[in-house]
């Protein structure tokens, strides 16, 4: 199998295919036109596409459907955090879009997380053409450092301890995994087992700036540490050649 675009054919191994499928590209754009341009530049690379708040609020469900029609796996990153009944309804609607993954905030508690799973299951039961998406919980944002968590958010103890506590709650609620810094993956695996998924933002290729992230690793370090998926935004979307940047990241993942 090969990555193909604009007549170019790049040799692809089973390993590179696998790593490409574990790369989530964050489409953090203000409109669909800019996102489409980036997606076109990555044509043929079977990465996940992550649609967050900025793009979803601007382009709406139709853009998610457009990505699915193009054959991409889609992570809808809206971080739901509300009363259980509201989250249940939101999960039902999101599942009907055909997304492959969505998330909620673990801070909403186990009842809210269970409601998310129930809402997704209800949508699948009503429409047999749908598949249950992976449902994951946000633990602590990768922009959150120890001081911010302790002094501003009001959670005491270490960041790692807070992340592991949330991961255990998510597992108890029947979710499939969590969003966490790659620095906490090993502790999450020890607490929740190897099949519990970890989606890790805070990824910066070797030699790039940390920007506004506080807890980061390189793509290779994250994969070697056990991350199920890595999320990369600006190092790809802001690159002069996004395709080349994505290929370099996949190579880093392969060499882990």
CB 218 within 8 A of CB 209: no
> What's residue 129's pLDDT?
96
What are the structure tokens assigned to 105, written together? Answer: 């905030």
Which strand (E) or helix (H) includes residue 165? helix 159-172
The pTM of the full predicted model, rounded to 2 decimals, is 0.91
> What's residue 122's pLDDT?
98
> What's residue 6's pLDDT?
44
Alpha-carbon span 165 to 170, nearest angstrom: 9
3-state SS string for 193-223: CCCCEEEECCECCCCCCCCCCCCCECHHHHH
What are the structure tokens assigned to 37, written together? Answer: 């341009």
**Dihedral pair phi/psi, residue 32, rounded to 5°:** -70, -35
Question: For 234, what's the count of Cα atoms within 13 Å in the CB-facing half-sphere?
Answer: 8
The CA radius of gyration of the chain, in Å to the nearest whole number, is 18
> What's residue 169's pLDDT?
98
> What's residue 96's pLDDT?
98
First-to-last C-alpha distance (Å) of the chain = 22
Residue 157: CB atoms within 10 A of its CB come to 11
Contacts of 161 (CB under 8 A, 6+ apart): none
pLDDT, tens digit only, all 256 positions of the chain: 345 444 444 556 788 899 999 999 999 999 999 999 999 999 999 999 999 999 999 999 999 999 999 999 999 999 999 999 999 999 999 999 999 999 999 999 999 999 999 999 999 999 999 999 999 999 998 888 899 999 999 999 999 999 999 999 999 999 999 999 999 999 999 999 999 999 999 898 865 554 544 456 899 999 999 999 999 999 999 999 999 999 999 999 999 8
What is the β-pairing status of strands 48-51 and 101-105?
unpaired
Which is catalytic among the residues 34, 50, 70, 79? 79
Tell me whether residue 79 is one of the annotated catalytic residues: yes
CB 19 within 8 A of CB 250: yes
Length of the chain: 256
């Amino acid at each position: 199998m090969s990555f193909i675009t604009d007549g170019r054919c790049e040799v692809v191994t089973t390993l590179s295919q696998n790593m490409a499928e574990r790369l989530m590209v964050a489409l953090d754009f203000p409109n669909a036109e800019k996102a489409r341009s980036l997606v076109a530049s990555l044509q043929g690379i079977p990465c996940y596409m992550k649609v967050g708040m900025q793009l979803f609020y601007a382009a709406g469900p139709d853009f998610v459907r457009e990505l699915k029609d193009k054959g991409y796996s889609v992570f809808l990153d809206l971080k739901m955090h509300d009363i259980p009944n509201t989250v249940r309804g939101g999960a039902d609607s999101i599942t009907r879009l055909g997304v492959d993954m969505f998330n909620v905030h673990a801070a909403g508690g186990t009842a809210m997380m269970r409601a998310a799973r129930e809402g997704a299951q209800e949508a699948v039961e009503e429409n047999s053409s749908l598949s249950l998406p992976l449902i994951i919980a946000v633990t602590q944002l990768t922009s959150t450092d120890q001081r911010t968590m302790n002094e501003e958010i009001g959670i005491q103890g270490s960041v790692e301890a807070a992340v592991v506590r949330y991961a255990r709650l998510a597992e108890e609620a029947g979710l499939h995994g969590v969003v966490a810094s790659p620095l906490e993956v090993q502790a999450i695996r020890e607490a929740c087992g190897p099949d519990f998924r970890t989606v890790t933002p805070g990824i910066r290729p070797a030699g790039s700036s940390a920007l506004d992230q506080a807890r980061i690793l390189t793509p290779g370090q994250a994969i070697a540490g056990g991350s199920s998926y890595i999320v990369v935004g600006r190092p790809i979307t802001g690159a002069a050649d996004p395709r080349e940047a994505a290929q370099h990241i996949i190579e880093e993942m392969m060499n882990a």
